Amino acid sequence: MFRRYAPRLALTLLTVFFLDLTDLIELHKNAADFKLNLDNDFSRMFSELLFGFHRIDTGLNASDIAQLAFLAAAPLFLGQSISADLSISGTYYFTRQNHRTRWYVRRSLSLLACSLTVSLFTCLLNAAMTSYFDVNGIPAARIALVMLSVTMCIFVLVMLSNIIGIFFGSVIGLAVTVVYAGANILLTYSPMRQISLVFNSAFLPDEGYADMSVKLGVNTGIAAAVFAAGLAVVRKRELGLVNAEQLF
């Protein structure tokens, strides 16, 4: 099943690569400034590379839009996999076998593997870019923590898009997911930033390992809740009644 998602995963990775490329160009243009500001703060540089260059004092800026594009990439290409399977081919699948739980778990695991691949690719790409600029090494523990958090965050967004897509179609599913991610990015710079659930708020420079672990825990909890909600929806869904794609 993971192989079935390979083309969509490749498109996601390509999008992430081009988004990172824009970061690299930005770095080249302002290399002296970045060296000056970030040379002794490799973790911050890594975070900035991963999530875009933020100016905390000005709130939303172009880098946030780049980050939103990064967050939207996986739901855009992978956010219809379960919902489309259920509404298109679920009918012929489930008239042969009614193990919906097993079917859903297998697809969710495939999407988790895809999320992990996107996260791994992003982190390795950014680690390579950081070393290219000759800053100090990044602790492996920090990279692992970042990678797991990014994985959970992407997984939540992809699953959310799928579950909403089951009811309202893939366009609405993606739209709601992007709005959710955008709202969380905005919250990152507000006084209420602790309730921002996307990963970027976990990696602001003044936050340490403990905060990152808490964020990872919260995101894992949310992923588990979204997974459980999806399971309930898939098990109770009446098939062939309405094709959600035809509603819009």
Partner 1 sequence: MNRIDLENVSKTIRRSEVLKNISLHFESGRIYGFIGRNGSGKTMLFRTVAGLIKPTAGCVKYNGQTLGADIDIIPRLGLVIENVGLYPEFSGLVNLRMLAKINSLVGEQEIREAVSRVGLDPDDRRTVRKYSLGMKQRIVLAQAIMEKPDVLILDEPTNALDEDGVEQIRGIIREERERGALVLIASHNKEDISSLCDRIYLMKSGEVTEAGE
| Footprint on this chain of partner 1 (rule: CB under 8 A) | 7, 87-89, 91-98, 238-241, 243, 246
Sequence-distant (≥ 6) Cβ neighbours of residue 245 within 8 angstroms: 84, 87, 88, 169, 170
Of 30 and 243, nearer to partner 1 (C-beta) is: 243
CB of 1 to partner 1, least distance (A): 10
CB of 175 to partner 1, least distance (A): 23
Contact 97, 67 (CB under 8 A): no
Nearest to 174 by CA among 191, 162, 192: 162
Helices 6-29, 62-78: axis angle to 10 degrees equals 170
Of 41 and 245, nearer to partner 1 (C-beta) is: 245
CB of 4 to partner 1, least distance (A): 8
CB of 167 to partner 1, least distance (A): 14
SS3 letters across 224-236: HHHHHHHHHHHHH
